[in-house]
Amino acid sequence: MEACRFCSISQHKLDAAIVFEDESVIAFMDKYPLVDGHLLVVPKKHFESFIDLDHESAFDLVKVIGKLEKALMDGVGCEGVDLRQHFRPFLPESTLVLRHLHLHLVPRRMGDDLYDKALKHEGSLRREPSLVELTSLASKIKARIR
């Protein structure tokens, strides 16, 4: 099995353009950025998702987000930042999937390419379900929170 790319970057066995690092978190430029300044923020310990993330690593991960958002706004002159996390274990191993938890920090600007080419189409997917429908879905989720 191929070594985990983000574990390799965390251990400095693989090069990346690192912007932040402490004992438990590393942040670096996305190799395939959606827009200039797109960062990845990664716990150094290998976790596949938030499901298995421990409390200490969760705290360490979240506490750097604001610091990095401010640095992005000052450093690349964006007006805002999207925070994203994708958990898609249903995708086959052969696709470009990194099974190491990571957060995307995507610099945003009014009317940027990301909006024009992708996000504005999300609006057509939105609908307005009834409160009964929402409550039914909520009860299915609530019953499984551990």
Exactly one of 7, 53, 65, 73 binds Zn ion (CB under 5 A); that residue is 7
d(C-alpha 146, C-alpha 129), whole Å: 27
The residue among 32 and 143 lying less far from Zn ion, judged by its C-beta, is: 32
Q: Which residue of 45, 46, 104, 109 would you call a contact of Zn ion, by CB under 5 A?
A: 46
Q: Which residues of 67-88 are buried (b: 16+ CB within 10 A; e: fewer)?
A: ebbebbbeeeebeebbeeeeee
Q: In the complex, what is the shortest distance from the CB of residue 7 to Zn ion, in angstroms, rounded to a whole number?
A: 3
* Binding status of residue 100 toward Zn ion by CB under 5 A: yes
Calculate the alpha carbon distances from 123 to 88, 91, 106 in Å: 22, 25, 19
Give the nearer residue to Zn ion in terms of CB position, either 29 or 35: 29
Q: Residue numbers of the site for Zn ion (CB under 5 A)?
A: 4, 6-7, 46, 100
